Amino acid sequence: MEETGSDNKKLNYIQTALVEKEMSSRVLGLCLDIHKGTLTNWTNNITQPNLENIEKIAELLELDNYKLINNTKRKDTGLISALVAEYKRLTNEEKMGLYVTVTKDGKTKKTYNPELQSALWDFIENFRKKISETILTDPVFIDKYYKDIEDKERLDESIFICKALPQEGKPYFEYLVVNESLGEDHFVARFARKEDAEAYVEWLENAD
């Protein structure tokens, strides 16, 4: 099964790999019994090969699989934990069912609840909008435990580093990278060493 490319975004590097290996797509298609048109669509990123075909191509070219696909770097913004909490709220408090029963052409089947799907995607879009509007100021290092920081020391929409409170039965990480714009007690990451936390903040500010 093929996946259609999104606006011809370069999702695979098959053509690049073929050039580097000095191999023609004709030979690749012949060896793996891939139709010329199909392979042309893949190398032009019009459609995408499935994982099974990526495995076959990478094996023949003697490359790691990841060399053939676009490795998009993404930051963990806390979306998933927030999304799971919203799903529980919608299904438990709002009583939205996961499935609904629909009848079409005299046949009845169970399908995902479109109202629930729409509500979750609205939540995702609003969350991402909030993150995109977050302005990172110069990181502030506060030599206090997070719970002891006074309100006046917390800057809206800022990233700062502070000490973490020890938790019984859990590994102790001394330095927290905190993003106040994501809500109270939202830790972006935590580290044992202050310099690692500072390096992570620098990466956050420079990431696309």
Residue pLDDT, tens place only, 68-110: 998 777 777 788 988 999 999 999 999 999 999 999 888 999 9
Mean pLDDT of 18-22: 94
Q: Beta-strand (E) ranges in the chain?
A: 3-4, 47-48, 99-104, 107-112, 140-145, 159-163, 175-179, 187-191
Is pLDDT at 194 greater than 90 in this prediction? no
Query: Under CATH, what is the fold of the domain 3-68?
Result: 434 Repressor (Amino-terminal Domain) (1.10.260)
State residue 135's pLDDT score.
Answer: 46
Least confident span in 39-43, 107-111, 123-127, 138-142: 138-142
In sequence order, which residues have a C-beta less than 8 Å from that of residue 23 and are 6 or more positions away? Answer: 61
Mean pLDDT of 55-69: 95
Q: Beta-strand (E) ranges in 5-106?
A: 47-48, 99-104
Q: Any idea where the domains of the chain sit in the sequence?
A: 3-68, 79-132, 140-206
Residue 125 CB coordination number (10 Å): 10
